[in-house]
Amino acid sequence: MSDDTFRSVEIERTSVGNYVARNVRGGSMSMGTGEDASFTPVELLLAALGGCTAIDVDHITSRRAEPTRFSVDVTGDKVRDEAGGNRMQNLRVEFTVTFPPGPDGDKAREALPRSLHQSHDRLCTVSRTVELGTSVSIVEAGDAPEA
């Protein structure tokens, strides 16, 4: 599809409970149930949430000064709601960012709170999608016999 708004990944089963996610650019990562070092889908959601804002904040602040520390901790609670379904709540994205002393570092420190708010309020597709909510369609493509 040539539409520049379309995004996709393909997930392939490698064994029971183990999968590889691939993007259209050739990148891949393993995903699983949490029985090994592979990321679980919930961990990937947390990583996407923190990573999206981190990219926004990094691009804005590092134009002023290279950070001496830039880390993001993303946490949340997995709960079963009254309807019996699983979901995440209490999502928290915590940034620890430091810049060197001096005028450039001061400019970056000054830009940090504004960049965090800009990312949260309008730039980060992941956090905005989670907060606003969107429908998810599950479609069965069909069961074709193997050749």
Same domain? 70 vs 23: no
pTM: 0.88
Residues 35 and 61 both lie in one domain: no
pLDDT at 1: 46
pLDDT at 2: 55
88, 48: one domain = yes
* Nearest residue to 94 via CA among 108, 77, 74, 111: 74
Among residues 65, 68, 12, 21, which one has the least CA distance to residue 43? Answer: 21
pLDDT tens string 60-75: 999 999 999 999 999 9
Q: Is residue 103 part of a domain?
A: yes
Within-domain flag for 140: no
Same domain for 96 and 70, yes or no, is yes
**89-134 pLDDT, tens digit each:** 999 999 999 999 999 999 999 999 999 999 999 999 999 999 999 9
> Is residue 144 over pLDDT 90?
no
Residue 29 structural domain: 7-39
Of 113, 111, 128, 114, residue with least CA distance to 49: 128
Same domain membership, residue 60 and residue 34: no
Q: How many domains does the chain have?
A: 2
What span, in angstroms and rounded, lies between the C-alpha atoms of 33 and 20?
Answer: 12
Say if 141 falls within a structural domain.
no
> Quick check: is 138 in a domain?
no
Pairing of strands 86-98, 28-32: unpaired
Q: What is the pLDDT of residues 2-41, one digit of tens each?
A: 578 999 999 999 999 999 999 999 999 999 999 999 999 9
